[in-house]
Structure 1
Amino acid sequence: MGGLDNTVSDSGNGAAPMEVEQVPTLECKGLTYRYGGGAYVGARGFSEPKLIDVSCSFAAGSRVLVVGGNGAGKSTLLSVLGGKKMVDRDQCKILGKAAFHVAA
């Protein structure tokens, strides 16, 4: 049994299969997240970003393992992908549409 392909055919009319664009279910490009939205944090200045320029995409039904050391941003990434934390517009998309952002 083979894997899924990215073609659609109309059985019965003899027409050639049509290529279908595959849009990732969830996609992030250049994702950056900073706690406090860049607010001033005491003598240290601005808070350091927990996620810097993260790009990833996931197909429907896929399973993903996120690994990293303490403080690496694993929980922050999952909070963004789960919609608990908001990011700038167009950093994350669901089915090609902007998601997880604060409306302007």
Structure 2
Amino acid sequence: MSTVIDMPRAPVVRDPKADAFRPLPGQAPAALEHAKGCRWPVHLAGNPMREVARLCCDAPRDGGSYCATHTRMAAGTGTPAERRGVPAEYDLRRFKR
């Protein structure tokens, strides 16, 4: 007689980089060659870290190549000093003891 043990499943870990290339909610992507809006590459299926994007976000742009959401994603979060609101030249932690 065999015993079945109900083991908890491991959580599914999603790649945050891959999520960056998913379409924005409520925004239909457009073919890259026909897009008039945001040029951020998006994928509907497959592995966005390995495949060439043929679609882009196409949300209204803020004067640059990307919409406001993707402009923030492209710019990043800044240095640790910028996140703390301390000018880098006054951040004494940059000097190692």
TM-score when normalising by structure 2: 0.26
Structure with the higher helix share, 1 or 2: 2
Structure with the higher strand share, 1 or 2: 1
Bigger Rg over Cα = 2
TM-score when normalising by structure 1: 0.25
